[in-house]
Structure 1
Amino acid sequence: MSNTFDLHQPMQGFPMMGMLNCIVVEDNTKQSALLKDYIAKTPKLSFSGKCESAGEVFQLVTSHRADIIFWDIRLLDNKVMVRLKEAGYYPIVICIADKQEQEEKETEIDVFSYLLRPLSFERFLSTMNKIRDYLSTTIYIHHRNNRFVFVKSEYKIIKVKFEDILFCEGMKDYTQIHVRGRAEPILTLNNLKSFSFKLPPEEFIRVHRSFIVSLTHIDSIARNEIYIGKKIIPIGDSFKDDFYQIIEWNS
């Protein structure tokens, strides 16, 4: 991947992308200063502030309408992300970690990518390129109270209402979005994890490494299988506890 990051160039089929507001969650002064410098050097990125604890994140994101959070892995807090999503904010999280921390610490937060220590501008630009590629495949609305998402599929931009999504199926680098009233699924160039960022977490749940389902459209559950219309979706072993807990809460 090239390390050039030119957001001044319009993306094919999309209007010019505006500034992306960034905040840094880091209690290491040297590293936070380094990230601030990298953000300042990168076109279309704007430094909106920093904090040294997870407790300050909600106020900083909402007051500055932050698009990207550079978040030290030691300070991650899933409760903050849940609160942000409930308020309609879906920032992209870039986790700062070394290799050992990345392997050892499990997180429930939807981390878009990891920026490994020691920090370097080359690694920073590579991570920003991932974001640019991601944003070029969809219109990503990270401050929303709307009930739909726009996705790019082949040569079209399709508006998909959340209430119409039955389930999503991951196919390596693609996701099939199965929509009621539509014979064929919508195919978009987002992997399942990336596409999951766009879905309201209170309405959709990942039940298998290859499937996300709409709780609204589940017809029945039997023998660790979910029935949605004629489709039978398996429940993966690592997803069972969370899924059945949600079912119990709604019983």
Structure 2
Amino acid sequence: MNNAIINCVIVDDEPLAREGLSNYVREVDFLHLTATCENPLELLDLLDQTPVDLIFLDIQMPKMNGLDFLKIAQKTPMVIITTAFPSYALEGFQLDVLDYLLKPITFERFFKAARKARDYHLLLMKPGVTDLNKTEKQDYFFIKCGSKYEKIPLEDILYVEGMQNYVIIYTLKGKYLTILSLKNLEENLSEQSFIRVHKSYIVAIGKIDSIEGNEICIQNSKIPISRNYREKVIGQVITKRLWDKK
């Protein structure tokens, strides 16, 4: 059926990357390659002239970063990030990208993302479906730990400790060390679920067991609350949820 065909555009400054993705697109019967672009500025011109359902978007490109494009674009089709850099994953999902593919991209992983785009495209085509977010709620992200990419479910996070250019993410399953700034992580985590309690710590509000003095207890760990954050912690964590005898 015609409305199951997805018109897509590839945006990447590397000719070999564009060629590789183009070959993948040609192998998928429900994808139609409308055009390829070397940077987001070319894409902006194209979007004004051509119907596009899906963008395969690189991040680090000259003239304009792919994520910067998403921040300034008033309205975009579905977006699947294609990049060699895992550190942008959290920010990408905060910008409602549909999927995040790490180079080198296998056809199997590409096809999985393409099917996800098709399912969402078909959902949008159903009668009465007019006001949906561009993507399903993202409840996880990936980080690089050594040579391995680890999936971190948001609901598993207990707290995060910052150490210069590194962070240690403590979860229900263990702890993970990765190159990432605590500030970047804080900017991309939900304020309803996570709170900064110290210059070196962010905690998951729902995982707090108790607060005593200037310490938060989460399982067997004690996290310090600094003087600068104490008022915010008390207000957001305790005051709104305090049951007390009146």
TM-score of the two chains, using structure 2 as the length reference: 0.50
For the pair shown, which has the larger CA radius of gyration, 1 or 2? 2
